[in-house]
Amino acid sequence: MSPSSLANARIDGRRFWSTIERSAAIGTWRHGLNRLTLSDADKAIRDQFVEWCGGAGLAVRIDEVGNIFGRRAGRDDHLAPVLLGSHLDTQANGGRFDGIVGVLGALELVRTLNDLGHVTRRPIEIVNWTNEEGARFSPPMVASGCFAGVYERDWVYGRTADDGATLGGELVRIGYRGEVPVGGVVPDSYLELHIEQGPILDAERLQVGVVTHGYTSHGMLVEFRGETAHTGPWPMQSRRSALVAGARLVAAVDDIGWDFAHVGGKASAPRLQAWPNRAGILSEWAQVVCDVRQDDPVIAGIMAERVQRAVGEAAARAGCTCEILDRWNWGGRIFDEAMVELVRDTAASLGYSHRDVASQAGHDAYFLARICPTAMIFTPCRGGITHNDGEDATLDELIPGVNVLLHAAVARADR
Ligand code: GLV
Ligand code: MN
Ligand code: MN
Ligand code: MN
């Protein structure tokens, strides 16, 4: 194939869209999707993805934490692969694009290279990471984190859902606990295409976001322990309600978010669980998941310290004990400058309007950045609406990002 036909290569938008639509029919919920990690719907999209990979001639590998890799051989096949991907799991009221565009965009890239008959020098691998969302098993991005050596495999297996199911057990149940040891390989580089999940590109009518870095985020899983008692006779002075401690923390975290709102800080406690959580009885146990996010790592750290203090204050006020069971953090200026520049140059050379943007959401790319040169490409999404079944984007809005992925990945893989 001539270099000029490669330079002029563009993805097949109709094929890409029909693949997105097929995905959007698996685990439907309202106008969007509910494909919680390792649910039956997640199994169904995984099965479909494996079938698509096979159809595109990719060699499929599944690792011990269920990450699915599809490999396209390179001319120098012993070289480290260029890795491309994102996630196919969704929130409970998720959209059809969050994560999905990155995985299916990578698949479309492979199909396009197959059509062209172009074999890159380095192998190209595409990947679906397990449990990006952290909606069923906390925290998010455990499997890319495990791949990058941040989390232990057995700790990942022990992540537990509301119904007591473990991540390890659910991998076995749906047949996606693979044989391949997780991690231990260092890709040449990693590129992740994703919808912006913010309003900037849509508002400015720009086609491509060049992601420079991620907001720093600190997350915590907090547990409170108190004592059950009758809500009638039991004196106020003697109460030790874990639910009250949890509710106080939820409100305190929200206050912290408001205190930092003027500098774009966000603080959230999106999940409060309690037991027995019934009428007439005080709860003896509660757990809260919370996180803070800010562009400046120093400010993010100050916000996290305030949350930690609020945990102790909420416990003391409710007469409970508290423990921070897990902590996680990500973000910062972690992307590789040359890779970010490659994305920017590729967008420019393809004639797409673009700008630099920061990412405020979590992405698997943050963990990959710890082991190999990494960058991200954003596409616009309507009004920045996401983690909502109203998440929306048109094919025309997605195509530029996928073409940037194509050309940036090929440039890297032919190096
Ligand atoms: C995960 O993706 C997050 O942003 O919380
Ligand atoms: Mn995502
Ligand atoms: Mn998401
Ligand atoms: Mn995310």
Name the pTM for this structure: 0.98
Evaluate whether residue 237 is within a structural domain. Answer: yes
Tokens representing 336 are: 């590789």
For residue range 269-302, list pLDDT tens digits in order. 999 999 999 999 999 999 999 999 999 999 999 9
Q: Which ligand approaches the C-alpha of residue 268 most closely?
A: 1
The angle at the Cα of 221, spanning 211 to 257, to the nearest 5 degrees, equals 60
Q: Is residue 108 annotated as involved in ligand binding?
A: no
Q: What is the largest CA-CA distance in the chain?
A: 85
Q: What pLDDT is attached to residue 130? A: 99
How many other C-beta atoms are found inside a 10 Å radius of the C-beta of residue 59?
13
Q: How confident is the model at residue 1 (pLDDT cuts 50, 70, 90)?
A: low
Q: How confident is the model at residue 98 (pLDDT cuts 50, 70, 90)?
A: very high
For residue range 355-382, list pLDDT tens digits in order. 999 999 999 999 999 999 999 999 999 9
Q: What pLDDT is attached to residue 117? A: 97
The minimum-distance atom of ligand 1 relative to the CA of 291 is: 5
Q: Which ligand approaches the C-alpha of residue 386 most closely?
A: 3
Residue at which a domain ends, from 268, 288, 319: 319
For ligand 1, whether the C-beta of 289 sits within 6 Å is no
Q: What pLDDT is attached to residue 218? A: 98
User: Residue 243 belongs to what domain range?
Assistant: 227-319
For ligand 1, whether the C-beta of 365 sits within 6 Å is no
Q: Is residue 98 annotated as involved in ligand binding?
A: yes
Q: How confident is the model at residue 111 (pLDDT cuts 50, 70, 90)?
A: very high
Q: Which ligand approaches the C-alpha of residue 330 most closely?
A: 1
User: Which of 290, 363, 364, 367 is the best mutation target for the ligand 1 pocket, counting ligand atoms within 8 Å of the beta carbon and taking the most?
Assistant: 363
Mean of pLDDT values over 11-36: 98
224 Cα–ligand 2 center, Å: 30
Mean of pLDDT values over 339-343: 98
For residue range 42-83, list pLDDT tens digits in order. 999 999 999 999 999 999 999 999 999 999 999 999 999 999
32 Cα–ligand 3 center, Å: 13
Q: How confident is the model at residue 182 (pLDDT cuts 50, 70, 90)?
A: very high
319 Cα–ligand 4 center, Å: 35
Q: How confident is the model at residue 4 (pLDDT cuts 50, 70, 90)?
A: confident
The CATH number covering residue 298 comes to 3.30.70.360
Does residue 235 sit in the same domain as residue 372? no
Q: Is residue 87 annotated as involved in ligand binding?
A: yes
ipTM score for this prediction: 0.95
Does residue 87 sit in the same domain as residue 121? yes
54 Cα–ligand 2 center, Å: 24
Does residue 147 sit in the same domain as residue 18? yes
- Nearest residue by C-alpha to atom 3 in ligand 1: 362
Does residue 155 sit in the same domain as residue 241? no
- Nearest residue by C-alpha to atom 1 in ligand 1: 362
Evaluate whether residue 326 is within a structural domain. Answer: no
Evaluate whether residue 159 is within a structural domain. Answer: yes
Does residue 182 sit in the same domain as residue 92? yes
Q: How many whole angstroms separate alpha carbon 250 and alpha carbon 161?
A: 20
One-letter-per-residue 3-state SS of the chain? CCHHHHHCCCCCHHHHHHHHHHHCCCCEECCEECCCCCCHHHHHHHHHHHHHHHHCCCEEEEECCCCEEEEECCCCCCCCCEEEEECCCCCCCECCCCCHHHHHHHHHHHHHHHHHCCCCCCCEEEEECCCCCCCCCCCCCHHHHHHCCCCCHHHHHCCECCCCCEHHHHHHHCCCCCCECCCCCCCCEEEEEEECCCCHHHHCCCCEEEEEEEEEEEEEEEEEECCCCECCCCCHHHCCCHHHHHHHHHHHHHHHHHHCHHHCCEEEEEEEEEECCCCCECCCEEEEEEEEEECCHHHHHHHHHHHHHHHHHHHHHHCCEEEEEEEEEEEECCCCHHHHHHHHHHHHHCCCCEEEEEECCCCCHHHHCCCCCEEEEEECCHHHCCCCCCCCCCHHHHHHHHHHHHHHHHHHHCC
Q: Is residue 336 annotated as involved in ligand binding?
A: no
- Nearest residue by C-alpha to atom 2 in ligand 1: 362
Q: Is residue 64 annotated as involved in ligand binding?
A: no
Residue at which a domain ends, from 271, 287, 319: 319
For ligand 1, whether the C-beta of 99 sits within 6 Å is no
Does residue 372 sit in the same domain as residue 297? no
Q: How many whole angstroms separate alpha carbon 36 and alpha carbon 40?
A: 9
361 Cα–ligand 1 center, Å: 5
Does residue 365 sit in the same domain as residue 392? yes
Total domains present in the chain: 2
Does residue 340 sit in the same domain as residue 243? no
For ligand 1, whether the C-beta of 409 sits within 6 Å is no
For ligand 1, whether the C-beta of 140 sits within 6 Å is yes
For ligand 1, whether the C-beta of 362 sits within 6 Å is yes
Task: Look at residues 137, 111, 107, 112 and name the one whose alpha carbon lies nearest to residue 125.
Answer: 107
Does residue 374 sit in the same domain as residue 286? no
Q: Which ligand approaches the C-alpha of residue 293 most closely?
A: 1
Q: What are the distances in angstroms from CA 199 to CA 115, 331, 357?
A: 35, 20, 11
The minimum-distance atom of ligand 1 relative to the CA of 360 is: 4
For ligand 1, whether the C-beta of 361 sits within 6 Å is yes
The minimum-distance atom of ligand 1 relative to the CA of 219 is: 5
Q: What are the distances in angstroms from CA 361 to CA 28, 92, 217, 266?
A: 23, 17, 9, 11
| Residues facing residue 318 across a β-bridge | none
